[in-house]
Amino acid sequence: MSDLDDRATSRRRVLALLGATFGATTLPAGPARAAAAELRIGYQKSSVNLMVTRERRLLEPRLPGTSLKWVEFPAGPQILEALSVGSLDFGFTGDTPPVFAQAAGKDIWYVGLEPPKPANSAILVPKNSPIQALADLKGRRIGFQKGSSAHYLVVRTLDKAGLQWSDITPLYLTPSDARAAFEKGALDAWAIWDPYYAAAEVDGSARVLSNGQGLSSNNSFYLGSKALTQQPAVLRALFAALSEADAWTKANLPQTAKFLSEATGVPLAGTIRFLARRTSGPVTVLKPADIADQQRVADAFSRLGLIPRPLRVADAVWRPAAASV
């Protein structure tokens, strides 16, 4: 049997397992009914709502009988890769990873989003860098995670500066590798999101050239498997828990900052700054304006030839019945 056949067989088994996990699609009046199985959730250091949900055990009473498996990833592209091959059921990413995943034919679905967070991403330069304006990025080495929200921030930054993609040298690095390269002087600029952004900012090693305001909405999306989109009761439980986590975070910033600092390894001062500028609000399904905003992200990458084909974001958006979620 070929590797492709093996993957197809594995995927069918995963989908069969997920069907058994979530059971019927009817919406219960109380907690979602689910078989005694596993719901696998991917998160990263910026996934505040998911981390608070896990810490405060906000999902357990809403999904009785379901075992929750939490898996940390360095960034959104890795989360969506795991989701697309059946290793995850639900995950959190920025705006760009779903575009690259959909363009590559991955079976991922937008199921929800948080309020925009344009202030939580930035283009950083070394503290003593001669770079003072966006146009000064011409000919420079800019590090960022390929296919991440930082990738789109670089695209928009170059647009604003009147530069072409060919005017820079992009270096595709994970956040931790980019941080190391930045500190060693191997990068002229670093595009990054919180809490990495805040950590570099408060330790004095970086200067903010520009944040995402006026450039990118920096939307945060929740993505799910096809099987999960057929279980609105489970998604309703997830949204309720995440929205509760968001409200709790806003009301308990010092306690949240301490917990997140210990859990992520980001210094407390950086975590406090990250949370202070983070936009708060409930998790919702995507509205037409959200889909249109995300389509602009996809179109930007398509124009530059950075994804293999144009795509229609709406084709990968879950649309629940009005009474479902």
Which domains does the chain carry? 3-117+219-272+282-316 (3.40.190.10), 118-211 (3.40.190.10)
CB 239 within 8 A of CB 283: yes
Give the pLDDT of residue 32.
47
Element (H, E) at 121: strand 121-126
Give the pLDDT of residue 147.
86
Give the pLDDT of residue 177.
95
Cβ neighbour number for residue 131 with a 10 Å cutoff: 17
Give the pLDDT of residue 162.
96
Q: What's the number of CA atoms in the CB half-sphere (13 Å) around residue 17?
A: 16
Give the pLDDT of residue 296.
95
Cβ neighbour number for residue 265 with a 10 Å cutoff: 11
Mean pLDDT by 10 residues, the chain (325 residues): 40 37 34 64 94 96 94 92 94 94 94 94 95 97 93 94 96 94 95 92 90 90 94 95 96 94 91 92 95 96 92 95 54
CB 196 within 8 A of CB 208: no
From CA 249, how far away is CA 270, in angstroms rounded? 16
From CA 223, how far away is CA 101, in angstroms rounded? 11
Give the pLDDT of residue 320.
86
Give the pLDDT of residue 30.
42
In 3D space, the residue among 41, 45, 43, 42 whose CA is nearest the CA of residue 275 turns out to be: 45
Is the torsion defined by CA of 237, 289, 81, 12 positive or negative?
positive
Give the pLDDT of residue 8.
41
